[in-house]
Amino acid sequence: MAEQVLLRERPAGVQEKPVPARSRERLLQVLFLVPAVLYLLLFFGYPVAKNVLMSFQSYTTATFYTGEAPWVGLDNYTRALGSAVFDKALVNTVLFTVGSIAGQFVIGLALAVFFHRRFPLGGVLRSLLLLPWLIPLIVSGAVWRWILDQDNGALNRFLGATGVADRPGWLTSTSLALIAVIIVNIWIGIPFNTTILYGGLQDIPDELYEAAAVDGATGRRAFRYITWPLLRPVVGVVLVLGVVYTVKVLDIILGLTNGGPANATQTLATQSYHLSFQEFDFGQGAAVGNVLILISLAFAVLYLRATRRAVDE
């Protein structure tokens, strides 16, 4: 979307009206945009600004009664960011994001290449693949929680029946819980990756492959010298978008493990939620939330550069 957003030229031939009618016309034109701008300011601008302020205040349950939120300087940051939970959450956020993106992308790309071949029912199967992406995240969380259940979950029954492993506690063991959560998030992200990458593959002209085949490049070589270089702009967009969405994932983790056991699946997003809405320390929650904004912003810059390049190439 970004390329069109930032780089689309004005449609040619828009005539300017004579001066008297023009100012009224201008006003009307601006009015078309006013509700959206107001909404964006109120529901994105205000929350970000408010979070920055809150992060320097002692903003707790008491604030709701007394209306007072004393300034505390960097206190929220030193407390929230200095805690052992934060270190754990930061590492988990990185692992969760990198693991999810790597899995989603590799499987998504493999499926996109697979569906790019034309075969009977290919279109139907490809659209069914969208289902995990369309159902509510908390539904996926609930279903997977039941599948991964240690005693009666479908996965452990399957593993038990085949003798592969002896009922691991996917969501209850500190060493497995993060892996389990990542696997579920990979599952959710596959349809998105497949769909976008498939769209990218569709845009590569067939003649290139035909020409390459004449030169003896097929299969893996064709992928390396034609598919991959031409797909790269789309890959950039998919990866950066993936990071921006994955960094702030909350539904899945709360639904599966609630950040536990022993903070094993705590991320910055869940920690921010816990601080604000379970410990009712909105100041500390805002501090962690601001760290999350900074991380997203860093990737936002990458995203804008990637989409810009996607158009230039």
Partner 1 sequence: MRRRAWGSTVAGVLILGVLLFPVYWMVNVSLQPGGSAVDVPWLPLDVSFDGYATALDQQGRNLVTSLIVSLGSVVFSLLVAAPAAYALAHFRIRGANWVLFGILISQMVPGIVVANALYSAYNDLGLLNSIPGLILADSTAGIPFAILIVRAFMGGIPMSVVEAARTDGAGPIRAFVSIVLPMSRNALITAGLFTFLFTWGDFLFALTLTTTEEVRPVTLGLYQYIGTYVNDWSAVMATAVLASIPAVILLLVAQRYVAAGTTGGAVK
Window 210 to 229, contacts with partner 1 (CB under 8 A) = none
Residue 222 makes CB contacts below 8 A (sequence gap 6+) with: 209, 212, 213
CA pair distance 156, 167, nearest whole angstrom: 5
DSSP result, 150-201:
TTT-HHHHHHHHHTS-S---TTTSTTTHHHHHHHHHHHHHHHHHHHHHHHHH
Among 23, 46, 98, 229, binds partner 1 (CB under 8 A): 46
Query: Is residue 248 near partner 1 by the rule CB under 8 A?
Result: yes
Q: Is the separation of the CB atoms in 266 and 177 below 8 Å?
A: no
Query: Is residue 121 near partner 1 by the rule CB under 8 A?
Result: yes
**Binding string, residues 20-39; x marks residues near partner 1 by CB under 8 A:** -----x--xxx-xx-xxx-x
User: Hey, which residues between 251 and 290 contact partner 1 (CB under 8 A)?
Assistant: 251, 254-255, 258, 269, 272-273, 276-277, 282, 285-286, 289-290
User: Hey, which residues between 150 and 189 contact partner 1 (CB under 8 A)?
Assistant: 151-152, 154, 157, 187
Query: Is residue 116 near partner 1 by the rule CB under 8 A?
Result: no
Residue whose CB is less far from partner 1, 99 or 255:
255
Peptide bond into 229 cis (omega under 30): no
Least distance CB 59 / partner 1 (angstroms): 7
Query: Is residue 296 near partner 1 by the rule CB under 8 A?
Result: yes
Among 62, 91, 106, 142, binds partner 1 (CB under 8 A): 142
Residue whose CB is less far from partner 1, 228 or 277:
277
Query: Is residue 297 near partner 1 by the rule CB under 8 A?
Result: yes
The C-alpha torsion from 136 through 138 and 141 to 145, rounded to 10°, is -130
Least distance CB 298 / partner 1 (angstroms): 10
CA pair distance 211, 198, nearest whole angstrom: 21
Least distance CB 93 / partner 1 (angstroms): 11
Distances (CA, A) of 258 to 43, 88, 267: 26, 15, 10
Residues that bind partner 1 (rule: CB under 8 A) add up to a total of 110
Least distance CB 102 / partner 1 (angstroms): 18
| Ordered alpha helix ranges (H), 248-281 | 251-256, 268-277
Q: Is the separation of the CB atoms in 205 and 227 below 8 Å?
A: no
How many residues belong to the chain? Answer: 313
Among 261, 304, 308, 309, binds partner 1 (CB under 8 A): 304
